Amino acid sequence: MSTGQEVSSRVLTVPNVISLLRLALVPVFAVLIVAGQDVWALVVLAVSGASDWLDGVLARRLHQVSKLGQMLDPAADRLFIFVTLLGLAWRDVVPLWLVVVVVVRDVMLACTVPVLARHGYGTLNVSLVGKAATFALLYAFPLLLLAEVPGVVGQVAHVVGWAFTWWGVGLYWLAGLQYVSQTRRIAATAG
């Protein structure tokens, strides 16, 4: 994330606490989705989405952009996406191939970590495409869960949820390919 602000090594910041709380919500969501507590699962997803936005805004406004935050925020996003997809697939709300498509992309990116480390780099900055993909997926999943409600609400949520899903997956892979390309450039330049 390029904020134009100095990135600190501070650990205890307001945005980092929010990201840690969001990480703590992941198992809560998992239990709720498995137990069929859809209303509460939707509430947790909504809180997670709002806190994802809030930690970024506060990091910039309070000048608390930190190295830890730059790792925690995307990690929380990935974990929420993964657990949500698993829960929705377990409930037969989404097909298993969707889980595979998302996981394969993340495994591909995990393979770039040793290459980056070998050349003295940490995690890459999150791109605008990556942020848009995460946004789309984190909005798609609550809508797909809401699509389980019978009637017009469920029908509309189904259409909009799948639209967000397709856009999100496409952007997710586009961002992943951009990160791989960036890693290749770094390796070629440093090598």
SS3 readout for the chain:
CCCCCCCECCCCCHHHHHHHHHHHHHHHHHHHHHCCCHHHHHHHHHHHHHHHHHHHHHHHHCCCCEHHHHHHHHHHHHHHHHHHHHHHHHCCCCCHHHHHHHHHHHHHHHCHHHHHHHCCCCCCCCCHHHHHHHHHHHHHHHHHHHCCCCCHHHHHHHHHHHHHHHHHHHHHHHHHHHHHHHHHHHHHHHC
- What is the rounded average pLDDT of the residues 13-28? 89
4 in a structural domain: no
Lowest mean pLDDT among 19-23, 54-58, 138-142: 54-58
135 in a structural domain: yes
5 in a structural domain: no
- Which pair of structure tokens corresponds to residue 125? 């900055």
9 in a structural domain: no
pLDDT, tens digit, 9 for 90 and up, residues 115-140: 998 988 877 888 899 989 988 998 89
39 in a structural domain: yes
Enter the pTM of the model. 0.80
178 in a structural domain: yes
Write out the residue range of the structural domain in which residue 171 sits: 14-190
The CATH number of the domain holding residue 106 is: 1.20.120.1760
Q: How many residues does the chain have?
A: 191
139 in a structural domain: yes
Number of domains in the chain: 1
- What is the rounded average pLDDT of the residues 36-57? 86
